[in-house]
Structure 1
Amino acid sequence: MITIQSTEQLTGGCISGDFWDLDELVNAIYKITGDENKYYDYQGARLRILHVCYKLRQAAKGEHRLEFVSNGLTKNVLTQHEYIFPSKNAYFATEIIWPELLFTAIALNDFIRLHKEHVDDSDWNIEVAIIRKFQAVVADCLKQEMDDEQYLVFLRMLHTKIPLTFRYATQYIDVLNLEYLYLDKEERQIQLAAFALRIMLENEDYMALKSQLMEAAIMTKKALHDIEINIRYPEEIWW
């Protein structure tokens, strides 16, 4: 089962699960987001989500963190069945910076809507169910870090049917990630809800950045999501 817990410094959420949990989630996301020729106006969001999927695939190969979780096998059960088996299973884990993780959960809403409109509107779609569970786990983790009022505001906005990542300038998530990283733990606790809302609301900072990116896109004849901004992450992140 996929679990998410805030990291010690509230830098991000640590996603963990066994190999099959992570593999199931990644495959569901790939199915829902479609190939690169689909939903062109959402390509920036799609590529951002797939970057998180890449980290999950790396984690499933043991390239990030390993955790050992009790599997419920007691000494009595093992004796009864005459098995020699470890009492813990290996879980693979990776950390995702909070603004990045929030954007991923929010953007997946748009792709679920698009998938239902253009591919399969069944209430029993297994990939949608897998992603909804992932979103629920993100929300549940977030609930531990917000007061009730902030959390309800976030949920109401998350449930909107208005597309939130249509032609979204995803470079803004890098800006938020970096800004968030330079806060201390106490400031992150206070401002996490505000960061969630800034992802969903097109404020002045976002619109100014998008305007600059659109000008660059016109000049270079590149897609909006292909324009790079001059930003550098710390070499080491204190989770």
Structure 2
Amino acid sequence: MLSIQSTEQLTGVRISGDFWDLDALIHAIYKVTGDENKYYDYQGARLRILGICHDLRQAMQGEHQLEFVSNGLNKSILSRHELIFPNKNVYYGAEVLWPELLFTAIALNDFIRLHQELIDSSAWNGHVATIRKFQAGVANCLEQELTEEQYLVFLRMLHTKNPLTFRYATQYVDILNLEYIQLTMQARKAQLASYALRLMLEDEEYTALKSKLLEVAITTKKALHEIPINANYPEEILW
């Protein structure tokens, strides 16, 4: 079962599960986000989402967190079936910064909508169900860190804004990530709700950034999401 839990310093979230949990999520995301040419105006958001898939792929190869989780087997069951078998399963995990994860969960709404409108509108779509379960895990984790009022405001904003990531300047996620890393744990707790809202509000800071990026894009003939900004992440992050 996929597990989504805040890290000890509230820097981000640890996504973990067994090999097949992570493989199913990654496969569903690739299926729903489509190929790179299909939803061009959402390409920046798509690449951010696939960045998390890359981290999860690395986790499945044992490059991040490993933990052993009880699988429910006990001596009675093993004796009854005359088995010699471990009573714990391996879970693979990777940490993701809170702003990055929230953007991913929000952006997936757009790709689910596009997939349902253009590819498969079935209510029984297993890939969509897998992603919805992942989003629900993110939402449950976020709810634990916010007040009831803060969480309700976030949900209202989420349901009001549609689409959420059309031609989105995803460099803004880097800015929020880097700001958030610099906060103390207490400040993260106090300001997490505002970071969640800033991803959807398109405030003055976001508008100014996007305007500058568009100027560069016009000059260089590059796509908006391809314009680099000065975003130097620390080599070590205290999770």
Which TM class, normalised by the smaller chain length?
A: over 0.9
Q: What's the secondary structure of 2:160's corresponding residue?
A: coil
State the partner residue of 1:175.
Answer: 175
User: Which residue is equivalent to 2:125?
Assistant: 125
User: Is structure 2 residue 220 aligned with structure 1 residue 220?
Assistant: yes
1:53-202 equivalences under 5 Å are 53-160=53-160, 162-202=162-202
CA distance in 2, matches of 1:66, 1:186: 28
Which contiguous aligned blocks of 4+ residues in structure 1 show a shift greater than 4 angstroms?
A: none
Q: CA RMSD in A?
A: 0.7
Aligned residues: 239
1:159 deviates by: 2.6
Whether the 8 Å CA contact 2:71–2:89 is kept in 1: the answer is yes
Give the Cα separation in 2 of the matches to 1:146 and 1:184.
16
SS at 1:159 equivalent: helix
In the aligned structure 2, how far is the partner of 1:80 from the partner of 1:178?
Answer: 54
1: distance between equivalents of 2:177 and 2:28?
25
Deviation, 1:15, is: 0.1
Aligned-pair CA distance for 1:158: 2.2
- Write the letter of the residue equivalent to 1:2: L
How far residue 161 of structure 1 moved from its aligned partner, in angstroms, is 5.9
Consecutive unaligned residues in structure 2, runs of 5 or more: none
Q: Deviations over 1:58-83 (max 9, x none)?
A: 11111100011000001111011111
Amino acid at match of 2:151: Y
Who is 1:7 aligned against?
A: 7
1:231 CA drift (Å)? 1.5
Identity %: 72
Distance of 1:160 and 1:40 partners within structure 2: 23
- The letter of the residue matching 2:140 is D
Q: Is the 8 A contact 2:107 2:164 kept in 1?
A: yes
Tell me whether 1:52 sits opposite 2:52 in the alignment.
yes
Deviation digits for residues 190-226 of structure 1 (CA, Å, limit 9, x no counterpart):
0000000000111000000000000010111100000
- Which stretch of the first structure deviates more once superposed, 9-18 or 152-161? 152-161
Equivalent-residue separation in structure 2 for 1:135 and 1:160 (angstroms): 17
Map Cα deviations across residues 126-163 of structure 1 (whole Å, 9 max, x no partner): 00000000000000000110000111111222233610
Give the aligned residue type for 1:213.
Answer: L
- Residue in 1 that maps onto 2:18: 18
In structure 1, the gaps of 5 or more residues are none
The letter for the 2-side match of 1:221 is K
**Matched residue SS, 1:231:** coil
Using the size of structure 2 for normalisation, the TM-score is 0.99
Q: Secondary structure at the match of 2:95?
A: strand
TM-aligned CA deviation for residue 54 of structure 1:
0.3
In the alignment, the residues of structure 2 paired with residue 127 and residue 186 of structure 1 have an alpha-carbon distance, to the nearest angstrom, of 37
Q: Which amino acid aligns with 1:39?
A: Y
**1:206: which partner in 2?**
206
Contact 2:161 2:200 in 1 (8 A): no
Looking at structure 2, the residues matched to 116 and 235 of structure 1 have their Cα atoms a distance apart, in angstroms, of 40
Distance in 2 (CA, whole Å) between partners of 1:92 and 1:227 is 33
